Amino acid sequence: MDHPVIIIGAGPAGLLLAIELRLGGVDDVVIVEKLHAPTGQSRGLGFTCVTKDVFDQRGLLGEFGKIEISDAGHFGGIPVDFSVLEGSQQAAKTVPQHQTEAVLETRALKVGVRIERGVELLAFAATADGVEVETRDAAGEVRRRRCAYLVGCDGGRSTVRRLGGFSFRGVPATREMFLGDIYPDTEIATRMIGEVTDGGMVMSAPLPDGTTRIVVCEREAPPRRRTAPPEFSEVAAGWKRITGQDISGSTSVWMSAFGDAAFQVTQYRRGRVLLAGDSAHIHLPAGGQGMNTSLQDAFNLGWKLAAVVRGDAPEALLDSYHDERHPVGKRLLDNTRAQGVLFLRGEEAGPLRDFLGTLVHELDVARFFAAKVSGLDIVYPMGGGEHPLLGRRVPDVLLDGAGGATAALHLLRQGQAVLLDLADSPALRERAEPWADKIVVHTGPESGSDRLSGTKALLVRPDGYVAWTAPHSDQPLEVALSAWCGPSSYPLRATA
């Protein structure tokens, strides 16, 4: 093989996946990116509490500098108070996507990822034991090389998805919308998602850099397949038709067009070719979920693919990537389509908005919507028993230990699974010793809270999800360790 893994696409998902592969011990990771430089656009703005925890797990959160956090969110324009969720579940606001990409690219280069810009994927052929990849650089030179795995992180119009024959099913767009940032030449009132008129919906909000984010959704605008971004004059004309305000003298930073299509591949993996992020699913950008879901696709896949490449896990582990993330993508499409009904259907959706606006004041309803938009409702099918934490993200709690209090998330920074021995059990640690080179063991109880639901021990996967609990699990620890960490490194001791 020329490379163990080639990733197509240097957006957030591709960059995070590459970082995870290097952390997992994959010695040669290459990202092939068609663009010569980052676009500087920021369709994504901020990140959810789950993504914030992901960045904290890998020591990346501090690279963003001071970030604004907030309990405020919405579902289809209906305000939702995220403070109803247990623990600190605030989302990071006003972090532009180009900053997220810059932070991830800096880390990727630091850990040895190679990023080839201005290089286009032309073709590939996957076999049972590898993938032959053909690319062309800016000088027109065609190069052929072989990798063990190819991952498409190349966006909604994914070349990998098309060439790989992935089935992409869904609902086509019914209208076109505009999104962009401007330096306004006149005062633009802040307008939240959900403020609709007979002509359509607009959104505007000031950003920290002095620009204003605008969204224009005209009710009668038919979908178009564009080959270039819209001119600002076209966007400003739509704004004026809806609001009556002339913003045509403003300075455009960037503009883009999008639709309300909702499509998802039926398989996230076809043999040695995998998809992550927008390559696997496209949807209406509602509730700030798109980039976050893409990042979490990559975070789920990274440690698994690294383990398979290292030879520490069977290739079947990659099937769990589809099994866990495809349902998440399906729910994402469902909830963004529902949000589209709320803020794109105009006055006829008014009674529905009013009804849901009343319901979200009920605590359980507010928790449902907050968890849905933030990704905290995700529960992976782990098997092995019933427990409130099983299959969910480990709470960001403090743990006592010999060296003082430690954040549970920080124990995951090495990219390995973590065994939390909360009851100081020598017998438990002895059972885990055959996996000593594959896991981190922490001994010490939860400090100052009771969010671990009375457990005595937990096995947490490298991505932060709880895979085993004691005394509630109906499978031995050794079974869970073998399933998620691969075979033991030396023979197991006999246990009673």
Q: What is the pLDDT of residue 87?
A: 59
Contact 45, 95 (CB under 8 A): yes
Pairing state of beta strands 406-407 and 398-399? Answer: antiparallel
Q: What is the pLDDT of residue 197?
A: 73
Strand, helix or coil for residue 415: coil
Contact 256, 41 (CB under 8 A): yes
Adjacent-strand bridge partners of 182: 212, 252
Distance CA(477)–CA(254), nearest Å, equals 53
Nearest to 174 by CA among 215, 228, 216, 220: 220
Q: Where are the beta strands (DSSP E) in 137-278?
A: 142-152, 168-171, 176-183, 196-197, 200-206, 212-218, 251-259, 262-265, 269-270, 273-275
Distance CA(451)–CA(447), nearest Å, equals 10
Q: What are the structure tokens assigned to 220, written together? A: 């009668």
CA distance to 44, 335, 343, 377, 403, per residue, from 339 (Å): 17, 6, 6, 17, 47
Q: Where are the beta strands (DSSP E) in 37-138?
A: 45-47, 68-70, 72-75, 78-81, 91-96, 114-117, 120-127, 130-136
Taking each helix axis as running N to C, give the angle between helix 290-310 and helix 319-344, from 0 to 180 degrees, rounded to the nearest 10: 180
Q: What is the pLDDT of residue 496?
A: 34
Q: What is the pLDDT along the chain (496 residues), one digit of tens a residue?
A: 899 999 999 999 999 999 999 999 999 999 999 999 988 887 778 888 899 999 999 999 999 988 887 777 788 888 888 888 765 567 777 788 889 999 999 999 999 999 999 999 999 999 999 999 999 999 999 999 999 999 999 999 999 999 999 999 999 999 899 999 999 999 999 988 767 777 888 899 898 889 999 999 988 788 888 888 999 999 999 999 999 999 999 999 999 999 999 999 999 999 999 999 999 999 998 877 889 999 999 999 999 999 999 999 999 999 999 999 999 999 999 999 998 888 787 777 788 888 988 998 898 998 898 888 888 889 999 987 888 999 999 998 999 988 888 999 999 999 999 999 999 999 999 999 999 999 999 999 999 888 897 899 999 999 999 999 998 888 899 999 999 999 887 655 444 3
CA angle at 149 for the pair 144 and 150, rounded to the nearest 5°:
65
Q: What is the pLDDT of residue 72?
A: 79
